[in-house]
Every structure is written in C-alpha cells, then in structure tokens.
Chain A
Amino acid sequence: MDRSLRLNRFVAGALVAATLIVSACDKESLQPPTASNVSFGAQPLFTRYVAMGNSITSGIQSAGINDSLQLLAYPVLLASQMGLEIPTRTVSWTSEWNVPLMRGPGCPAPYTDLWTQTRLGGTASDDCAYRSTPIPTFINNVAYAGATALEQTTYYDPAIPPSVTDVFRTFLLGGSTPFEVVKKMQATFVTVWSGSTDIDDALTDETNPGDPSLYPDVPTFTSWYTALMDSLNTLESLEGGVLIGAVNVTSAPYVSPGGAYFLASQQPPLDAFLTVLPNCLATEPIPGTALSAPVYVPFHYGAPIMGAASAGVPTTLDCSVDEVISAVEARDMIVTVAGYNAAIEAAADARGWPYWDPNVLLLALQQQDPSSIRLFPAYSPADPQHDTEPFGWALSLDGLHPSSRAHGLIADALIIVINTAYSAGIPVIFP
C-alpha cells in the first residue's frame, strides 16, 4: 500500500473520530448540572425554614381551616418573601416550602356569616373534607390548632387534656410531634409561636372561662418551653430562628370589657331592654403596672344577651356568673401571659435569637385605627363592619384569629425582626 495513501487514511480516520467525539462530547454533556444548580431560591439560612406554632400559624381563620386560608397564613407569606417556592392549591406537594393543606371547603369550613353561623359551602361544624392529595413529600408548617408548648415535643403527657382541636395533631402531622418534624426536616431556621394556645382554652371555655385550672402556671409553661428549646438546641442544622410571644388574649375582641356592654346599654335602642349590672364594671389592679384588668365578657356569652335585647326582650347581663371572666381572673391571665412572654424572651436571649412581641403590633393597630381591632363587636346591623368584619378588619370572623390582611402585617413585622437580627434583606410585603 502506498505510504502517503496509508497516511491519508490514518489522518482521515483520526479526524472523523475526533469530530465524532467532539460533537458528542460537548461542553454541556461533560459538565452536567450539579446539585448546587438546583438550590432553592432562598438564602441558605432559610432553605429549610420550618414554622412551629399555633392555630394562627397553621392558618385558621373564622373558626375554620382550608387550603385557601392556610396559604394566606403568615409563615407562607414569610417563606415566599424569603424566596422559597410556595405551594398553590393546584400544585401543593412539590414546592420548596410545603404545607399540609386541608381540602376545601375545610375541616371545618370557615364561617361566611358569623351571625347565622353559616360556614363555607353550607357545611356543618363537624364536617371535614380531609387533607388535599397528593400529600407533600415534606412539611414546613408544623403548626396546628391546639398545639401547646408541651405538645411541641410530646403527644402523650397526662398533662395534655382532651380537646376538640386534637384532630389537627394527626391531620397535619400524623404520628409525629412538631419537634420531630423539625428534626426530620433538618431545619435551618424556625419561627416558634407558642404560649397563646396554652391559655386560649381559658378564654373560650363555655362554662367557666378564666378558670386558672384551664391554663398552666408560669413555672409549668416555662418548663415546657425550656424542654422545647432544649430539643431545638440539639439540632445541628438549626442556624437561626425567631421566638414569638404569646398574645395577651384578653385584648382579643372575642372578649369585651364589661364596661363596653355597659356603654351599649346606655345607648338607644338597647337602653330600654339591656341592663348591665354594676359588677360588670369591676376592675383589678395589675401588679407592677398602672393598669387595671376589667371584667371580660366572652362573645359566646354576650352575643345571645345582645341578641335578646336587640329583639326587644328585657335582658340583664350579670357578670358575677362563671360564664364571665372576672376581673381577678382577667388579671391573673394577663399576669400569666406576661410571665410566659418573659420566659420566651429569656429563652430567645439565651439562644441569641430575636424575640418578637405580637402585642406591640396589636396595640399599635388599635391605637392607630380602632376599627382594626374593636373593643366591642359590631352587634348592630347598622354598623358598617357588622357583616364582614364584626371584630375589626384585623380579625377574622371568630374574633380570635387574624384576618388575611393581618397575617400580612405579622409577616412584615417578622421580616423586620429577621432582617435586623440576621441582615437578611428580605423584602416586606407592604413597603
């Protein structure tokens, strides 16, 4: 074979081979995507943000919960502002930040009319549409209604009394406690809103609200909260968090001062039918402050009386009954919540985390706009807030849980706290 011909064939073969290899072995195929190319949208600190908390954190509004309300809760808003992909009602299981969504109309469905107790879809208070499917691979919002500080780390303590909200422990977290899910999630950041739930039962109890036996004393709560923080301290993944104080529940419009009922009884047309006894004006000094605690009338007790008087039936409000929170009971609740918050703030200081007191926001709202959080429900149909926001625009139709708008304000307040403590630069929702 001719030498040059051989050489030409060799070169041709080599060139074809090189061309094929280069064309197949392109830059993209040799530099495949790596895990870092699909990292989440948030800063690393917030990649596995988990929200622990209560009914507010879980998204309950108007005495109900469903996927729409859950997606309007402050943790979801906060996660979204952090840059995390949040779920939607239609794509609810594959996001970067997941919520155990309850299928509509709810479980139970929220009120659409407080005064007729009508719920979304005309459903009953014990109707439940169960969880949405497919269920998410992981869960970031581990809050549920009725989650006390003790229940953050255990389900089976004898100190946990049965409650109608117990179903949510399973619905939202299955056989796990919130802390167990946080641990499994290898959370990098947490918000913890605990304390309000511990005292909520004493506010809404229909037979003897304010009964001290219905809520833990400060040392007991402190021990539970300490156990929670001790558990969180074991998590090596955890890089930051915010501890949120308990809401001073006596300032929730679900309960109104006896004096507010007295003032209503002095106005026509109720003055002809409603009598408010002087015991409703009793107060009790709050130690260490210049303030006094009044008698509080829960909505579930006051509403029928107001309804009867409005219908022209002579009615008397006697605040000496068990169904009303006495001034002493109110004082004790206020002092107890202050004790809770002192413990929470101390825990935050010990961990080096920021503490946020929601009562500051609530007080500011009340002072800036009395229609935001009303001292007295809009009983009168003539009141422009009667139908849609009887407890104020910052409250949902149950008088206890924030409205969607208020969730935005809560998220913004937390963003400011987080930005200050962690230099995070998270954009606020309402600039």
Chain B
Amino acid sequence: MSRSLGVLSTALLLSLAFSETAAAQGFSVNEHGSCVMGRGGTGVALPCADASTILFNPAGIAGTLGWTVAAGVTPIYAGGGFTNDLYQTTDELDNGVVPVPHAYVSYGISSKLAAGFGFFVPYGLGTQWKTDFDGRFLGYDNNLQSMYFQPTLAYDVGKGVKIGAGFDFVVGSLKLTQRADLSEFEAAPGITFGQVGIPFHSEFSDGKLEAHNATGFGGNFGISWDATDWISFGARYMTRVKLDYTGTATFAAVPTGIVLPPGNPLSILLQLPPDQPLPMDAVLEQADLYSEGQPLSDQEVKTSITMPDQGVVGFALRATPKFTFLFDLQWMNWSVFDTLRAEFEYQDEDLVLVENYRDTYGLRFGVDWAATEKLAVRGGYLYHGAAAPDETVTALLPEGVRNEFTLGLGYQFSPMFRADLAYQHLQQNDRRGRTRDALPGQAPTVELNSGIYKFYAHLFGATLSVHF
C-alpha cells in the first residue's frame, strides 16, 4: 500500500496558516492596556498614563518624567459556533478563558528624551472545538503565542512634535491539533481510500504540530503632534515580522471502527481475501504508518509566517477639560498572506498554500470623561473589516466583520498608583464558512462553505501602574 503524507500535511499546514491569521486578525483587538481598551482601542494621538503608548505610539513616552511601571492582563472568553446548513445543528466553540498579559516600563531620561520597554502578546489566543465537530479535520485545539519584547526610545523635538521608535524582538510558538481523514489518503498509487468507498471524514489519526521559540524582528515607529491645547494627532507604523518556525509533528492512531463487508474493492486492490470482512484498523496497523521514517512518524516541520505590517492614524479632540474624543483608523496589511510555504521532513515537495487574504481597516472611536479628579470613565466603539476572503472562513478562523463596544474606568489612587479596568464586547457578523478542505494543490472555493460561523467574545482588562 502506498501512502502519501501530502493530504495530511496539507491539512496541517492549512491549519497552520489559518490559525495564525485567526489569532492575529480574529482576536487582535488591541487589548494591551486597559486604559486604551476602555476607550475603544484609541491611543495613537493621546497616550494613556500607563506607558502602554510604547505599543500604541512609541512617541508618547517622550516628555514624561521618572519611572512608570505598568502590568496587566486581559482575560478573554470567546464563544461561538458553527451551524451546519444540512442538519441545522450547531457545534459550539469550546474555548476556555485565555489570559493575555501586558507589561510596560518607561523612564524619562530628560524632559526631551525617554526610554521604555514593552512586553505584549498581540497574537496570544486559540480556538478549541469538541472532537466530534466536523471541523476537527481542519483543527480542533489550537494555540498560538507571539510575544513581543520592545525596547523603545522617544524624543520631544519641540513645537508639540514627538517621535519614537521601538525594536521588536518577537518569540512565537504554536500548537495545532487535528484529525486526519482516511478518505483522502492513498490506498494505492493514485487511488485514495475515498475512491474505494471510505466515507468522507473518516478519522484515523490525530495529528499535533508544536513549534516553539520561533524568532523574528521588527520595528514600531510613532509620531505625535499636539497642534493646539485641544487637538492632537498621531500616527504609528509597525513593521511586518517574519517568524521562522521549526516544529515537530506527532501522530497517534485513532480507531476508525470501519469494517468493510466481504467483497469490498479494497480487499481486491490490496490482494487480500475478498470473501472476508476487512477491519480497516487492522489494515492500518499492518501498514506501519507510525514507525520511524514513515509518513506518520514524528517528524520535523518548517515554515515561515509573516505578521503583517500595520499602520494607525488618529486624532484626539479635547472638547472640554473633562471630555476627550479620540478617533483612530487602522490599516493592516493582511494581503501579505497570499501564499504560505512549508516543508515536512518526510515529504519530497514543499507545500504551497493559497491564502488570498486582503488588507483590512479598523475604525475606532473613544471618549474619555474625567468624572472627578481621580476617576475617569471611558467608552468606545470599534469596527473591523474581515481579512479572510469568503472561501477561507474555517473552524480555525471564524473570522468576519466585527463591531465591538467598550467601557472603562480609571482611578488614580495616589500620585503614585493608578488602576484601569475595561470591558469589551466583540460581536462578529455571522459568516458562511466551511469544515472541509479543498483537494491538495487546489485553492479553496466558496462552494465548500457548508454553514454559518458565529463568533463573539467578552474581554475584561485590568492594568495597574506605578509612577515614581
């Protein structure tokens, strides 16, 4: 029996691709500072006092004096599901609560020059489905982390203009799990098990891909301009970051339970006694798929994934001493994800996957109300476009147009201590998607879509900061 890793590895890599983008777009709601989060993610033109401007606009730390140290976490609960067209039944997303940490330190070296260091995880979430979900063949338990470490310098050049730049050192890791579909494996050269009757989505192996310590470098640049005492402008640009993953793919047998009846064509094809029932699990065990060097043995996988560049422009309008309105427009260069290439240890040819992602724009609005000298009340609204085209909406990426609403509170306990809290509700438009892949080497099409993905998330942010 001839076996090919092509189908399985294709599926794994599709998962890889979509998981990455899922984490970056599907969950990147800029929840890396509860002050900014509370005002709808706006921060490029007017920094918060928690040093999170190291991310949101590196120029913002210029002009501060002394030390500012802040740390926080944003627990994210994501929910949703997939409603199948045919059965009208819904499989629920099985995500737990995922905490996303952030930490910042800034120091005003002089009245003009400041330095800082930021740690944030803009790609730190995953998706988890039950193992009976039909989309498990695309991935059912996926986790990705891309940790950004950013030393930053900023300078006040005068006349209200500040500039800043950060160097991003990125460490990435990922875990992907999925079931392999026997019907897409080859039973003989050029003939798949599906072609002799094995039903679609007959699971026979559980694949897990893990990769840690992928590293990449990038930069984050910002500029701000306080045009008057009541209006400020800001812009930032974060470069793309290429992460080179070297990981391990491991596989474990999953019983199929399939027993082909006597007279089946597979027995004929494999020259086995045709008048006997044929247990597929015995056939697969005899095929010795999991031994060293075999297609489903532990093996190395290499791939590279590029985080897209992003740019943000915005302005802040201090309408009254107590009310500030903030507006940001964000662009993300998702079109860098047009194809992905990966290499499996026991496969002769690289895999080239077509993605066809498109750039997205996000629109953000925030309001900050200084209710008292110590208490700030915030609110905001975000709108994001969808990066994935209609043909690549999958269980790994239940992604689409989103509307998000935020509330926040900030309290200055003393000149030294402050705390910020925020809540964000993410509501994604329902979107048609799929639970099956195209054939290896073929681009997916919308004809594969077989249901509707729903997605929402509740985010709770808390940041404590100290200034001295």
The chain A residues found within 8 Å of chain B, CB to CB, are 1, 6, 9-10, 12-14, 16-17, 20-21, 24-25, 29-30, 32-35, 38-40, 47-48, 91, 94, 96, 100, 103, 128, 130-139, 155-156, 162-164, 166-167, 169-176, 185-186
Contacts and interface: CB of A to CB of B under 8 A. Distances in A.
A138 B268 CA distance: 25
Contacts of B83: 35
A173 to B, nearest CB: 7
A126 to B, nearest CB: 9
A166 B452 contact: no
A25 B327 CA distance: 15
B99 interface: no
A29 B429 contact: yes
A21 B365 contact: yes
Contacts of B198: 174-175
Contacts of A12: 317, 319
Nearest to B365: A17
A167 B430 contact: no
A6 B431 CA distance: 43
A185 B183 CA distance: 18
Contacts of B400: 32
A135 B309 CA distance: 39
Point out which of A130, A138, A166 has the most chain B C-beta atoms below 10 A from its C-beta. A130
B439 A134 contact: yes
A167 B365 contact: no
19 contacts: A1-B230, A6-B319, A9-B230, A9-B317, A9-B318, A13-B317, A14-B325, A20-B363, A24-B363, A24-B383, A32-B431, A33-B430, A33-B432, A38-B432, A138-B200, A155-B277, A170-B260, A171-B196, A175-B259
Contacts of A24: 363, 383, 403
Nearest to B437: A134
Contacts of A128: 265
Given A24-B363, A24-B383, A38-B452, A175 B258 contact: yes
Given A33-B431, A48-B87, 20 more contacts: A10-B323, A21-B383, A25-B381, A25-B383, A25-B403, A29-B403, A35-B85, A38-B85, A40-B85, A94-B448, A94-B450, A103-B195, A128-B265, A134-B439, A166-B264, A169-B261, A175-B258, A175-B259, A176-B199, A186-B87
Chain A contact residues: helix, strand, loop or mixed: loop
Nearest to B401: A29
B452 A33 contact: yes
A24 B323 CA distance: 23
A384 B275 CA distance: 44
A152 to B, nearest CB: 13
Nearest to A16: B327
Interface of B: 83, 85-88, 183, 191-192, 194-202, 230, 256-266, 268, 275, 277, 280, 317-321, 323, 325, 327, 363, 365, 367, 381, 383, 400-401, 403, 429-432, 436, 438-439, 447-448, 450-452
Contacts, number: 159
A20 B317 CA distance: 15
A14 B381 CA distance: 13
- Sort A-B residue pairs by CB-CB distance and give the 5 closest, nearest first: A166-B263, A13-B325, A24-B383, A170-B264, A175-B258
Contacts of B367: 13, 17
A48 B86 contact: yes
B377 to A, nearest CB: 15
A129 to B, nearest CB: 9
A162 B263 contact: yes
B424 to A, nearest CB: 16
Contacts of B197: 100, 131, 170-174
A1 B265 contact: no
Contacts of A48: 86-87
A174 B319 CA distance: 70
Contacts of A16: 325, 327
A163 B323 CA distance: 84
A155 B261 contact: yes
A174 B448 contact: no
Given A38-B432, A135-B195, A174-B199, A167 B260 contact: no
A34 B430 contact: yes
Given A6-B319, A20-B363, A175-B199, A167 B183 contact: no
Contacts of A170: 196-197, 260-261, 263-266
A164 B264 CA distance: 10
A144 to B, nearest CB: 10
Contacts of B451: 35
Contacts of A33: 430-432, 452
B403 A13 contact: no
A24 B329 CA distance: 12
A133 B439 contact: yes
A2 B264 CA distance: 89
A32 B83 CA distance: 14
A174 B381 CA distance: 52
